[in-house]
Structure 1
Amino acid sequence: MNSIKIFADSTCDLSADLIKHYEIGIVPLYVTFESQSYRDGIELTPPELYAKVSETGKLPLTAAPSPSDFIQAFTPYVEQGQQIIYISLSSELSSTYQNAVIASKEFEQGRVEVFDSLNLSTGIGIQVLKAARAAEAGQNVQQILSLLAEIRPKVDTEFVIDSLDYLHKGGRCSGMQNVVASLLKIRPVIKVIDGKMTPAYKVRGSREKAFDQMVSNALSNKANMDRGTLFVTQTMAHEDAEKLRATLNETIQPQEVFITEAGCVICSHCGPKTIGIIYLKE
């Protein structure tokens, strides 16, 4: 057992295999339909979420774990003598980070460190994976926190949203914008900048055209890319993700490309068939 336990929340979107291999602790966020709350990834899966949205015509609300949720998750490991590093969903998008900081103050100073990823989905996950591998290699808490501070601004997170339906249901675009985008087959591309979801550009035409643009963007950074680990993160688009992985392997030749599935919190904002590429710049 490592003396350092790495924690993340359910929005990090790492695969079950990676979470199990590196013994990463996961604190779930909440997804609420009307009066019923579900723990993301435990009591509700993305296909179940999409079915409920289709049935009700409404998006769920999402909520951060409470400080008591974090205390309950951290306590067993602190009692075993481990130090904890928790890497959170961006503080610009959720109160998750703030609630974890509140919880950390209930423990002896230095036992629980909270790090703001300033990212989402596997933009968090790639930081969590780096931290877990550093802990496995025997690095101490300060070394891992320094590593995280170094790589955080180097994370490139870009994804294509297939339809504006979920953004419309969530009040993030008007009905007219949704209709026009559907007629013209406009697909928005989102990047994470300074911890926020930022519309980067729009691609008019097929999904393949949007994917080609994402790959082209990644290739433009090839000379300055850390080609150790890349992620293709998707929801209900596994076949497209496999094609993207094959293209990335052929054109960039990284050491590894992981395909992961976005969890319910991410899905509730972006909708099905969303797909993204995440990597680190050097």
Structure 2
Amino acid sequence: MKITLITDSTCDLQPDKLATLGIQFAPLKVLFKEKEYIDKIDITNPEFYGMMRQTKELPTTSQVNPGEFYELFSQELTKGNQVVGIFLSSDLSGTYNSAVVAKEMLGNEGIHLIDSRTVSFALGLIVIKVQEKIDSGASIEEILTLSRELVAHSQLYGMLDTLDNLKKGGRLSSGTAMIGKMLNLKPIIEVQNGLVNVAEKARGSRKGLAWMVEQVTNHYPDGKIDELAIAHANNADKLADIKQLLLERFEIGKIHEVEIGSVVGTHAGEGAVGVTFFRTK
């Protein structure tokens, strides 16, 4: 019996990459005043960041609805396949709960759902590893066990380049944003227990990148890492910077490079850069 892995577009892996891996995805949506766009389908990352740069109000985002999951799940069940669904944190979106509703509507035991407790390229790294396990011919029990282990050990850090999105979204006053800009503060966020928290406030990008690399060092003091992912929000230069710092410090088997898309980019803002890996403790 075939096992099909389904995720959502906030994993920030491009559709062609997902198709090559054999992973299906359900897209979230991003809404500017004049039009709604389907993440990864009818708006490119450069188009999105260009539009966001010009707007005074942040776009809004919307979750995948149960009907969309019902259709996706039904197609696979009709083929005689089992489904493993791994989606962004249920504390950040109702997408996972929509998948749960769809499963209940279908009443089928062949649907297995995982709340990743994370988002973006951390979710992307998890689904890559799970698909590798599926491709190895592992049983559904082994696949679900690995999925839960990866979720438990996933760690994401992201450095924001601008405070504009926090200001536009009402999470930061204009005065505080101005002070932050004057001090060249770069908030570093992490996803912890399914929620986004500020882990550090660095004075400048260089110190922020160094701080994130230091956190990786805490988990890999021997300097050897099998696999990790780095990502950027329309900021390839900063991606190159963090990649260089990592390669100077570690021997890394594989580095996945990811572009942060429209849904996550709405909140992180243009210029963000980050790293995700699996904690060793």
C-alpha distance in 2 between matches for 1:62 and 1:38: 9
- Cα deviation, 1:175-215, whole Å, max 9, x if unaligned, reads 1110000111011000100000001110013x122111211
Matches within 5 A, 1:125-274: 125-205=124-204, 207-223=205-221, 227-274=225-272
Aligned AA for 2:262? C
Contact in 2 for aligned 1:226/1:281 (Cα 8 Å): no
- Does 2:23 match 1:7? no
Q: How many residue pairs get matched?
A: 280
Contact in 1 for aligned 2:224/2:251 (Cα 8 Å): no
C-alpha distance in 2 between matches for 1:67 and 1:183: 45
C-alpha distance in 1 between matches for 2:253 and 2:223: 12
Could you say which residue in structure 2 is the equivalent of 1:40?
Answer: 39
Aligned AA for 1:154? H
Aligned AA for 1:276? G
Could you say which residue in structure 2 is the equivalent of 1:56?
Answer: 55
Structure 1 residues 17 and 239: alpha-carbon distance in aligned structure 2, compared to 1, 3 A threshold: farther
Cα displacement (A) at 1:14: 2.0
C-alpha distance in 2 between matches for 1:173 and 1:92: 21
Cα displacement (A) at 1:54: 2.9
C-alpha distance in 2 between matches for 1:16 and 1:88: 16
Structure 1 residues 47 and 170: alpha-carbon distance in aligned structure 2, compared to 1, 3 A threshold: same
C-alpha distance in 1 between matches for 2:222 and 2:131: 24
Contact in 2 for aligned 1:131/1:144 (Cα 8 Å): yes
Aligned AA for 2:109? G
Contact in 2 for aligned 1:87/1:128 (Cα 8 Å): yes
Aligned AA for 2:247? N
Aligned AA for 1:275? V
Cα displacement (A) at 1:225: 8.6
Structure 1: stretches of 5+ with no match in the other structure: none
Q: Classify the secondary structure of the residue corresponding to 1:223.
A: coil
Could you say which residue in structure 1 is the equivalent of 2:277?
Answer: 279
Q: Classify the secondary structure of the residue corresponding to 2:148.
A: helix
Aligned AA for 2:241? K
Q: Classify the secondary structure of the residue corresponding to 1:189.
A: strand
- Does 2:103 match 1:91? no
Over the matched positions of the two proteins, sequence identity in percent amounts to 29
Cα displacement (A) at 1:171: 1.2
C-alpha distance in 2 between matches for 1:257 and 1:134: 18
Cα displacement (A) at 1:229: 1.3
Structure 1 residues 57 and 125: alpha-carbon distance in aligned structure 2, compared to 1, 3 A threshold: same
Structure 1 residues 142 and 238: alpha-carbon distance in aligned structure 2, compared to 1, 3 A threshold: same
Aligned AA for 2:221? A
Q: For the aligned residues, what is the CA RMSD?
A: 1.7
Matches within 5 A, 1:63-78: 63-78=62-77
Contact in 2 for aligned 1:66/1:99 (Cα 8 Å): yes
C-alpha distance in 2 between matches for 1:139 and 1:224: 30
Could you say which residue in structure 2 is the equivalent of 1:26?
Answer: 25
Normalised by the size of structure 1, how large is the TM-score? 0.94
Structure 2: stretches of 5+ with no match in the other structure: none
C-alpha distance in 2 between matches for 1:217 and 1:111: 39
Cα displacement (A) at 1:35: 5.3
Cα displacement (A) at 1:72: 1.8
- Cα deviation, 1:211-266, whole Å, max 9, x if unaligned, reads 11211221122138982210001111112212322332332112101110011001
Normalised by the size of structure 2, how large is the TM-score? 0.94
C-alpha distance in 2 between matches for 1:31 and 1:169: 16
Following superposition, which runs of at least 4 residues in structure 1 exceed 6 angstroms of deviation? none
Cα displacement (A) at 1:151: 1.9
Structure 1 residues 42 and 225: alpha-carbon distance in aligned structure 2, compared to 1, 3 A threshold: farther
Could you say which residue in structure 2 is the equivalent of 1:80?
Answer: 79
C-alpha distance in 2 between matches for 1:74 and 1:224: 43
Cα displacement (A) at 1:130: 1.4
